[in-house]
Amino acid sequence: MPATLNHPESIPMTAPSTPKPPRKKPKPATAAKAAAPREKASLHPRNRHQGRYDFPQLIKSTPELGQFVILNPYGKESIDFADPAAVRVFNRALLKAFYGIAHWDIPADFLCPPVPGRADYVHFLADLLASHNQGEIPRGAAVRVLDVGVGANCIYPLIGYSDYRWQFLGSDIDSTALAAAKAIVQANGLNKAIGLRQQGNPKQILGGLLDSTERFDLTMCNPPFHSSLDEATRGSQRKWRALGKADPKRKLPVLNFGGQARELWCEGGEIRFVSQLISESASVGQQVLWFSTLVSKAANLPAIESALKKAGALESQVVEMSQGQKQSRFVAWTFKDKAQQQAWSQERWVRKS
């Protein structure tokens, strides 16, 4: 779906038709009850995380979550999202309760992403594949997905396999992240569904990564958003001021949801990384049906569009997503024309009788 700009509704101003009555003596003030915000508004319809979380049920399956549950300003059970330990255990509980992932943990200071938003990316990509399959989502091992920068959390392969039984290959340049992801995969008996591979050249993304015989229906990527550690830190501080504003003296983590340097920033920031990803994708353009990447800032889209034209992409889409007050999006592109796209789906997804 194309990006759209939402305009605030105008509120008409009208003069009162009669004089205002004398002001009465005000009654003693009563404490106003905060209006709770809408929970996880506008998630994809297939996203499992609709409505409020059942914390007693989550604690029942993951008892260690109990020590992190608090009451938010609206009197609802929640966790302190400024506490990396709380977010890590919360994610563990969600993955176990909603996706059947019995064992999940990551090393300290690695990126611990919010699960609902990551799930949305997977579901919208499933819709993209369905558009080439008469509206039906292709499921099972016939669908192969490359997760570029899988990270220690391995979140996309876990969700994609659980919901659609897709096969995944996760790549990364960080050996520690890959070791953590491998531990998760092995602990959950997913070795046949999720493979992992190190990108041996840290200056490349796709270059030298794939065998010429490999084919992928999708690629996905959560790129480094920032251009420096200082920029990443300042971005996190803005978020912590919102999350921790009730106690300005509290000690907050340096980086939002954890994250190693390579996960959060790179020279040139998001535009340079995504532009390089697009450029390198052209060399393996016939091995993949749809490439994709998250884009954190809408202002970066014109530069990304230019990179796609330069690389020779035949078709591209910007898909907007919304998780509560957070707006996000991903860009998808292909080097295959319509006839090639149709032939791809017929060859790979249609069951032979």
Query: Is 91 part of a structural domain of the chain?
Result: no
Sort strands 326-334 and 194-198 into parallel, antiparallel or unpaired.
unpaired
Answer whether residue 296 is part of any domain: yes
In this structure, is residue 196 part of a structural domain? yes
Is 59 among the domain residues?
no
What pLDDT, on a 0 to 100 scale, did the predictor assign at position 4?
Answer: 36
In a domain, 48, yes or no: no
SS3 159: helix
The number of folded domains in the chain is 1
Element (H, E) at 227: none
CATH code for the domain in which residue 234 is found: 3.40.50.150
What pTM did the predictor assign? 0.81
> Rounded distance, CA 108 to CA 85, Å?
9
Per-chain mean pLDDT for the chain: 82
Is 108 a residue whose pLDDT tops 80?
yes
pLDDT per position as a tens digit, 244-302:
544 444 444 444 444 444 544 446 689 999 999 999 999 999 999 999 999 988 999 99
For residue 319, give the nearest of 283, 285, 282, 294 by alpha carbon: 294
How far is Cα 119 from Cα 15, in angstroms, rounded to an integer?
A: 49
Which of the residue ranges 37-46, 75-84, 242-251 would you say has the lowest mean pLDDT?
A: 242-251
Q: Is residue 82 part of a domain?
A: no
User: Taking a C-beta distance cutoff of 8 angstroms, is the pair 77, 60 a contact?
Assistant: no
Q: Domain residues for 133?
A: 114-348
103 belongs to a structural domain:
no
Is residue 270 included in any domain, yes or no?
A: yes
